[in-house]
Amino acid sequence: MDDRVAWTHVSIPERVMKGETVDNWYPLSGKLGDEKEGTINLVLSFSVCLSTLVIQQVYTINAD
């Protein structure tokens, strides 16, 4: 048995992967039929997080 109330398929727009924010409404499908269950608003954004740079220092001590 399918317990979903409503669903939709959303493809991530290429603009999102280029750093833009996309604000779109998507129709929902369900028991009432395709795209007849209402809509959902999705705001999609993507950003790259810079990783922390770890610097290792090595010291050499000459004992004469």
> DSSP characters for 6-59?
EE---PPPHHHHTT--EEEEEE-EETTBTT-S-EEEEEE---PPPPPP------
What pTM was estimated for this model as a whole? 0.64
Please report, for the chain, the start and end positions of each structural domain, with discontinuous segments joined by +. 1-64
Closest CA to 37 of 52, 26, 23: 26
Interatomic CA distance for residues 30 and 24, integer angstroms: 20
Asked if residues 8 and 1 have their Cβ atoms less than 8 Å apart, the reply is: no
Residue 29 has pLDDT above 90, yes or no: yes
Assign 34 a pLDDT band (cuts: 50, 70, 90).
Answer: very high
